[in-house]
Structure 1
Amino acid sequence: MGDTNGQVVAGGNDKGNRLDQLDRPTDVLIDKETDSLIICDWNNRRVVRWSRRSGTTQGEILIGNIKCWGLAMDDQRYLYISDTDKHEVRRYQIGDENGTLVAGGNDKGIGLNQLDVPTYIFVDQQQTVYVSNNSNDRVMKWNKDEKEGIIVAGGQGYGNALTQLSYPRGLFVDTLGTIYVADSMNDRVMRWPKGAKQGTVIVGGN
């Protein structure tokens, strides 16, 4: 804290698809077990891992051919990744390239078993998956092993009413099930208590 300059820890060699480059990275998390960064390298259609050890000059590809946007990791080190091309979220064991479908995967659409450009995700201790469903202007909750999700925020079309979201992005869910979501096109952050039909603006919205 207090540093005025940051330090490049991954990429930084112009945009490109070499292993020492990134192209429009969208999300990152820390894997404490391997002391590494796992990064959605969106425009390169891959998920890469970069060691945090000093002297690291390039990453390694964990999963290829995936238009990944959001990442999450659960307590058992399963990796969850949203795919904006396939409109789905999959769960992966590290080293597994295929994964298991946990949300969406039925083409894009507005059905409860569908997603439309899923972006950021959050996974709780019960392996419940929350998804910012960008183009459907809603946040979906998928309980483990369910075939369809539940709308838990938004879902009333594009707009700025307290019942609406417009291109939701970043997402956090606390232990009470309260959802905090970056409502990107409305320039605000909203809080939705569990089961609520409308949210409260807690930052921005002016």
Structure 2
Amino acid sequence: IVIAGGHGQGNAPNQLSCPTDVLIDKETNSLIICDRGNKRVVRWSRRDGTTEGEVIINNIACWGIAMDKDRYLYISDIEKHEVRRYQIGEQNGTLVAGGHGKGVGLDQLNWPTHLFVDEHYSVYVSDTWNYRVMKWTKNASEGIVVATGFPRGLCVDSSENIYMADYGNHQLVCWPKEAKEGIVFATGD
């Protein structure tokens, strides 16, 4: 069953182009989708009879999306090498990670993809081409390297253990809090 898009690749309200991430907004019973190929974030109702999405953020090279407990959206931008926090309906957002150009500095990112936001509003970022996961605490001006590898998808538990899809190494890795090296718990071998 197709629940969003399904009318070929394109930029019409009933189409998507290279979607990269999705989350469920329980309050509005909708999906919020990074529609990367169209440089937009769209909301798509999960109610029966929905035939098109609604653009909620435009002109963003989005890849990853997360939502905090207050329903703010966090979206990674792979062209600006940053993560911004948005109140739904807002177009500009507030910078929360990166934003100082592409680079390896602790205040920089290089192709930020997947995101996770914890209950303390810390933002974890798969900093793809720097081969690391960065943690940006609330209001921080720079991040902390908390894992290395070739990160893509990630999640963090209540003990701050990071579970990372290590894309380039074909494995899943757990990085316990403050660990110097991760523990492989699933591999492609």
Same fold (TM over 0.5): yes
Structure 1 residue 101: Cα displacement: 0.2
Q: What CA deviation, in whole Å up to 9, does each residue of 1:83-135 have, x standing for no partner?
A: 00000000000000010000000000000000000000000011000000001
| 1:164-179 correspondence to structure 2 within 5 Å | 165-166=149-150, 168-179=151-162
Which residue is 1:114 aligned to?
108
The one-letter amino acid paired with 1:146 is: A
The one-letter amino acid paired with 1:120 is: H
Query: How far apart in 2 are the matches of 1:205 and 1:29?
Result: 27
Structure 1 residue 205: Cα displacement: 4.7
Structure 1 residue 75 and structure 2 residue 69: aligned? yes
Moved over 6 A (4+): none
Which residue is 1:146 aligned to?
140
Query: Is there any run of 5+ residues in structure 2 with no aligned partner, and where?
Result: none
Q: What CA deviation, in whole Å up to 9, does each residue of 1:153-178 have, x standing for no partner?
A: 01xxxxxxxxxx12x10000000000
Q: What CA deviation, in whole Å up to 9, does each residue of 1:136-193 have, x standing for no partner?
A: 0000000000100000001xxxxxxxxxx12x10000000000000000111010000
Which residue is 2:176 aligned to?
193
Query: How far apart in 2 are the matches of 1:116 and 1:19?
Result: 31
TM-score normalised per structure 1: 0.91
Q: What is the Cα-based RMSD across aligned positions, in Å?
A: 0.6
Query: Is there any run of 5+ residues in structure 1 with no aligned partner, and where?
Result: 1-6, 155-164
Query: How far apart in 1 are the matches of 2:50 and 2:86?
Result: 25
Q: State percent identity of aligned pairs.
A: 62
Which residue is 2:49 aligned to?
55
Aligned length: 189
